[in-house]
Amino acid sequence: MSATFETVAGIISETCDIPREKITPQSHAIEDLGIDSLAFLDIAFAIDKAFGIKLPLEQWTQEVNEGKAPAEQYFVLENLCKRIDDLVAAKAA
């Protein structure tokens, strides 16, 4: 989890030019860090490549838009990192 967060925080910092110290596990990518949808796709590309996975952004967006899941479930960084860990584990299984 910690290593995943460090990687993700580094990607966000570099991709969006956000000071690394402002990025915490509790940061909400959209509400706290101001990352827009286009920038998030840029982050997703870097995460996909770094972890060898495919973040299911379309599914997540649909679930949030339909009220089936709160945005925090995917866009608070500690939750995002948990999803990444799950995807990496699923790929390895």
Partner 1 sequence: MRLEYFDMIDKVESFDPASKRIVTRSTVPAQSPVFEGHFPGHPLVPGVLLTETMAQASGYLLLGLNGLTQMPFLMMVDKARFRTFVEPNAVLDVSAELVHEGSGYAATKAKIAIAGKPICDAELRFRLMPFPADMRTLMQSRIAAIGLSPEAA
Interacting residue ranges for partner 1, rule: CB under 8 A: 38, 41-42, 44-45, 48-49, 54-59, 61
Q: Give the shortest CB-44-to-partner 1 separation in angstroms.
A: 6
The torsion defined by the Cα of 78, 84, 85 and 91, in degrees rounded to 10, comes to 170
Rounded Cα distance, 33 and 63, in Å:
22
Retrieve residue 92's tokens: 């390895």
- Which residues are within 8 A (CB) of 27 and not within 5 positions of it... i.e. 6 or more apart? 33, 76, 77
Nearer to partner 1, 1 or 45 (CB): 45
- Nearer to partner 1 (CB atom), residue 46 or residue 78: 46
Minimum Å distance from CB 21 to partner 1? Answer: 27
Nearest of 29, 31, 32 to residue 47 by alpha carbon = 29
Least distance from partner 1 to the Cβ atom of residue 58, Å = 5
C-beta closer to partner 1: residue 26 or 62? 62
Smallest gap, in angstroms, from Cβ of residue 37 to partner 1? 9
